[in-house]
Amino acid sequence: MPCLLEPPKGSMLFTALAGVEDEEHEETVVIVDPYTSGRFLVEEFRRRRWPLVAVRSSLSIDEALLSTWNAAPFERTVVHHGDLAETITSLRNVGSIRAVIAGSEPGVALADELSAALGLRGNDPTGPRPRCRWDKYEMHERLSECGLRALRQRVCSSVEEAAAFAADVGTWPIVVKARTSNGFSGCVHLCGDREALDEA
């Protein structure tokens, strides 16, 4: 299974969306879940004068993410209700779409599905380990498959399982986090001892 370690020349996001910065663009860029650091993408696209549409993958999101939501830069907001075909129809009503990209981790899977369904450049949602783009466990498993250095890890469902893994590792600290967590969510814990592990 080939592993691409360096992106092909010309594949970088803003190379793919190249255009004269002071020109208005007729095509639209769709950003899925433009929360947290995704706001910097929004700012850059606005600077380059791309029309923007937001897709919200769910209205049930972490309060910390919700606090970063800003609808103002977008010409339209589409809410995904779990029906991919419905969301695609809503986007096609927008007009010509140049790209669909994820603005934050919760939107990665949906951005992949929308890009594929619309025939746009993106990650193949049916490719090897598609969850490796947002699932921390799958990320490191994929790194190992590609022959790259990866963290030693274990999926644990209880404190006892986590403690057993820590004992196997034999050194502290260890990191405890949910598989789909991020630093912004507050679900990442650096544990220096068993007491900290129990609290995490």
pLDDT over 90 (residue 114): yes
Mean pLDDT score of the chain: 85
Would you say 78 and 57 are in contact if contact means Cβ atoms under 8 Å apart? no
DSSP class of residue 130?
A: G
Classify strands 188-191 and 52-56 as parallel, antiparallel or unpaired: unpaired
Separation between Cα atoms, residue 120 and residue 126, nearest integer Å: 15
Note the helical H segments in the chain.
Answer: 13-16, 38-47, 63-66, 84-92, 108-117, 136-145, 159-169, 194-199
pLDDT over 60 (residue 18): no
pLDDT above 70: percentage of residues in the chain: 86
SS3 76: strand
pLDDT over 60 (residue 139): yes
Q: Specify the range with the lowest mean pLDDT, choosing from 66-70, 94-98, 179-183, 185-189.
A: 179-183
pLDDT over 70 (residue 191): yes
User: How high is the pLDDT of residue 120?
Assistant: 95
Q: How confident is the model at residue 34 (pLDDT cuts 50, 70, 90)?
A: very high
Separation between Cα atoms, residue 80 and residue 129, nearest integer Å: 23
